[in-house]
Every structure is written in structure tokens, then in C-alpha cells.
Structure 1
């Protein structure tokens, strides 16, 4: 079970939850970049890479027996925060199309470089599956 907590004393969150209370089986999801199945970074820039990274994360989650609704925490590593903020609306559209309107507890972290030098964004998460799943 996942309960999203957004206290009225904090600013209204946009694209994340302030806290998530979760009970069940924990799945730790490795960082995923915009890496296609052939081992190359997808073309098309930041939004395309975010979509591929999120797709990769969800494929791993489904293989572990979960779905997008089980995401409890997400860390987004971003090479260019200004570019990410400028494309936030498009990134949000990708999120809603692939995951829906429920958001995990999240953090965006600016980094100078990711493992793959061509990667612009990397997503790492934690999901909680219901007991018995």
C-alpha cells in the first residue's frame, strides 16, 4: 500500500509528493538512462532521453512484479538543470502518459556527468509492492 502525504503547511507539490508511506515488498530500481535496447542513447535530446529512461525503469519494475502505481521514491539526476526546467511541461506530459497523475517522493539532483557521457538524465527509484504480490 502506498499513501502520498502532502501536508498543508508545505508548499503545494508539483510533480512530486512531499512524503510517501508504504508497506509491502520493496523493489530497488537501478539508475536508468535513455539507453535503447541496442546499447545506444536515443536521439532527440532531453525529453526523448527522459521518456526512454522512464520506460526502462518501468520495464524493470514490471519484471519485478510491479507497476507505475507502486513507485514510492524517484531520484532524477540531471546534467543541465536549466534545460530540464525549460522542458518541464513536456517532461510532465511524458510522466502522465506513462505513469499517470500519482507522483512519488522525488528529488532532482544536478550532476556534471553521468556514466554514459551522452546521457542527459538518469532515473533511479524505489517501489513498494503489496504483500503477497
Structure 2
């Protein structure tokens, strides 16, 4: 088993990747956390400050949705290293897979190499009709 502790004042996240599971790429198999505050981050799409979709490609929407998710987390006093869980909902799983390398680059650019436990879930449609992708998450703050 491989664990990657990331201690911080008042808490730590440990990313756990058992050796007998397929090697994770862009996620961790499990994350354990100690801290004093959980932050539940609502689903974020590519909406801009005026409530309009700000991008029309899957990578563009992923960038904006992740930016929005991280802005909500920052407002709570957290940063990407504090994310324990992120779920990605998409109306286009084949498109998500086709853009996986580009989406990984966007993740590393905005969130670094702090990979939470993640899942990608296909959806018929999202609340915002033009949305192709939505992200929600859970963070643990000290």
C-alpha cells in the first residue's frame, strides 16, 4: 500500500493507493483525513457571475467549473490540497475520456498534483441545460 501524507497545521490528508489496485492516474483510490472542519462544496458548472454558461467546449466548461469549485473552497479558507473527494458529472462520458489529457492538464494547472478520491458519473442532463460538466466536492480544513 502506498500512502502520501500531507500534514498541515491542525489536520492531515493521506492519499492511499493500494499496490494491488490499478495505478491511479489523476485521482487517489482513497483519502483519509483528520481535521476540524468539513466543507461540502455544491455542484459547480461553467456559470459566470451573471449566471450564464461561460464556455461551450467540455474542456472550457471543466476549467470554469473547477475554478468555481476552488473559489468556493477558498472562500471557506481552503486550497486544493484540502480536497478529499470530488465527483465529476458529465453529459458526455466519451467526450470526457477523449479530452482526459487536456482535463488533467487543467486540473494540474489549477489544483496542482493534489488528487482527491474521484469519480466520473454520466448524466442525461445537468441542472443548467447547456452544462456539459459539473463538479462537487468535500474538503477537510484544519
Structure 2: unaligned runs, 5 residues or longer? 1-11
Aligned to 2:28: 17
Q: 4+ runs of 1 displaced by more than 6 Å?
A: none
Corresponding residue SS for 1:31: strand
RMSD: 0.7
Corresponding residue SS for 1:75: strand
Aligned to 1:47: 59
Distance 1:3 1:51 in 2: 26
Distance 1:125 1:49 in 2: 17
Structure 1: unaligned runs, 5 residues or longer? none
Task: Tell me which protein shows more strand as a share of its residues.
Answer: 2
Distance 1:3 1:43 in 2: 34
The TM-score with structure 2 as length reference comes to 0.90
Question: Structure with the greater relative contact order (CA < 8 A, sep ≥ 6): 1 or 2?
Answer: 1
Aligned residues: 130
Aligned to 1:2: 13
Distance 1:4 1:58 in 2: 19
In the TM superposition, what are the counterparts of 1:13-92 in structure 2 within 5 Å? 13-24=24-35, 25-92=37-104
Shift of 1:102: 1.6
